Structure 1
Amino acid sequence: MKQRLFLVFTVLIVAMGSFLTTLGSENVEANTQLQHKIQNIQEEREGNKDDLKQKENEIKEIEREMNKVKDEIRVIDHKSEATNQEIRAKDKEIEATKERIEELLAEIKLLEERIAERDELLKNRVRSMYKNGGSVNYMEVILGAQSFGDLINRISALNTITQQDHNILEIHHNEKMAVEEAKIAMEKELTSLETQLAELEVLKATLEKQRKEKDRLMSQLEEQEGQLHADLGELEEIDEILAAQERAMKQELAAWQERQKQLEAERKRLEEEQKRKQEEASRSGSTNTNNSTESSTPSNPTPAVTAEGQFMRPTTGAISSPYGMRWGRMHHGIDIGKAGRSGDVHVVAAEAGTVIRSYYSPSYGNTVMISHNVNGQVITTLYAHLENRMVSDGQRVTKGQLLGYMGNTGQSFGAHLHFEVHEGPWNGAKSNSVNPLNYIPR
């Protein structure tokens, strides 16, 4: 019976050794594939550098166009400055014309008031003359003198009255002429004012046209600059992700290689254990198989590897948007919604791995990307729209480790987790993305 148990145990040991030997050969192949994928990423980075150079050439062309636009803006600025100077000069000219018109109006008003007073005086004189027969009887005035001195006084008074009447009439005539001249001058000033105002409107229209042209050029410039920054930002972000991904994959490869060394050491230990058992069996012909089985049975590494390969759900909640086409564009992941839940909803690593990037993306908000090495296969996961991030670039994380809380950052409508799975390294085109439900429970 003991010999039979010993034979069974020996067969198991041999089978295990054979399995580990096969696993070792598979590990060598997987190691080669991993290194090949890292090389692919390096080549992709080189290709990205070529794209960057091409984009830099395009940017130089855009910069030349931008410089032309800036020159045009500079010319418009100079023209606008000159137009503004003309407008200011025209404003002063118009103000001076308005002041002259005000002075003429005041002068005309004063003259018209004096003419009106004099008209009243002349009307009284005419009325008095009419009552006295229409003219002065000079003979009566002379003959009515009481003495020679009275005669002289009477004649002098008559001369004074006549001279005053003459002066009044002359002043009256002159002021009427002055009023007419002032009115003519005011009409000229008003005509000049209308011309100046029309010229001012033309200058303002010219300035407005210059402003609109500048606004158009500025919009064109902003669009070109925005596109330039967007292109550069996208290329730089992709290159940063690829560089970080290369580092993470190398770190994952090193960890994987260390696990393979441990497996190889375990295989050798089992071989030595098998030889020792065989030697003991040949010497004694019997052995306490039950005790030996209990003491020598190794911890099977397969469950650990399998456990690592079994992805867990990154968070709780219902799937609010599946993988596939959405709104005319490809949705490269799934959305798991918070669905009105209060408090913090944990987002965890679906599998052990190395953090490629932990950063803020304008579109994805707070984002974590992790590189996993599962049985020699590279898997990349992405967790987006997080409220916060609790891991950093290059950090080694375990399955189920907290990455952050479900959030609503970036271009997001409502708190949810956007989760992506890529079979192989991540790339800008996301050509390696697959349905995450192929890896995680529903």
Structure 2
Amino acid sequence: MTKVNWKKGVRVFTASAAILLCMQMPQANANDLSELKNEKQQVENKNNELNATIQQKESELLNNVEAQQKAIEQIQALTVKMADNNKKLDKLTQDIEQKNNEIAALEASIKELIRKIEERDALLQERARAIQASGSMNYLDVLLGASSFTDFIDRFSAVNTLIDADRQIMLDQEKDKKRLEDERKQLEEVKQQLEAQKAEAEKLRETLLAQKAEKDRRIAELEAAEKQLKQEKSALEVEHEENVQLTAEIEQKIIAEQERIAEIARQQAEKKAAEAQAQAAQQQQTKSSSTSNVPAATGPVPQVSAGAWTRPTTGTITSQHGLRNLGGSNEYHYGLDIGNAAGTPVVAAADGVVSHAAPLGGYGNLVMISHVIDGEVFTTVYAHLNGFNVSQGQTVSKGQQIGIMGSTGRSTGPHLHFEIHTGPWQGQQVNNINPMYYIPF
């Protein structure tokens, strides 16, 4: 081998090794980034589960407090009923006591009445014995035996008096006996009514006491359950806080990995000495990393603009960057939506390195590319893709097709959601800028 050929071979080998090194380093970093994102997704899933469980415990606590409040209100109502019933019992007791006093007074009156009846009975018996001893009394003989008219009048008056007295005694006797029977019956009825009312009030009192005891037991159970729920919720909140800290740690690792890939992109942007060889290697890598299951593109790729940036796809801008109204509620839109038919080609907006090529939440199928332009790092985001033909760590050129338009993730129709961030991607809201500042649409 001649000296010239040997030197040429060394240069080719050195250039090839440099190209392979640039190709492999991003791939290794991209794999680490993918693992970190998977780990973050797992932690976020755990976080969501903890949030859901905490919300469930909060709901159970609210239900428990409502049940306690309801039980307390029922106890208060029972307490009012018991107070009213106790007043009723006190009133009935007083009424019964009053009736007992009236009965005692009436019994004294009855005793006096009985005495009078007994006296009349004795008088009537005495008159009966007198009539029996003297034989039958003939008032006509008494009248005819008068010695004069004056004596006749006197005898007539005496006979009428005797007759009226006997009749009155018998009437009074009959009346007092009936009154005695009526008063006894009335007192008995009143006493029975009062006793029945008292028994009913006593029964109600026992029922209310039983209901209150049951409510007291229920409140004790609810208070114990509330204590348990608070302990469980507190433990979940501690776990959630630890999980949030873990998520923050993973996010910092992701940010660091993004920065590392961005630095690699910066180094690659500064090392374009062997452009022809790198282009050949890039085409070979693109060919080997393309996915075979991506649907064919429909329509032409957009015309590549002059300068560092170019339009990522063709179509109409359907939603601007900034605040927008969706279904009556406002939300901030962190990119541009470009609508067109599903399958419309999507290209890289600038030279760079693919830092993400996989589904990601509401973004659906997502490609992120890190760029270094005039020494400044940028990240572009291409969301809702129907498919993509690049992989993490792959170097792409401005205007190179990276996927096709679709409607995956949180989407209402085929369109490209396109974002630009200054610096490495650190979440949708961080360092987000309006793409129209850099790209002519």
The alignment's TM-score, normalised by the length of structure 2, stands at 0.39
Please tell me whether Structure 1 or Structure 2 has the larger radius of gyration of its CA atoms.
2
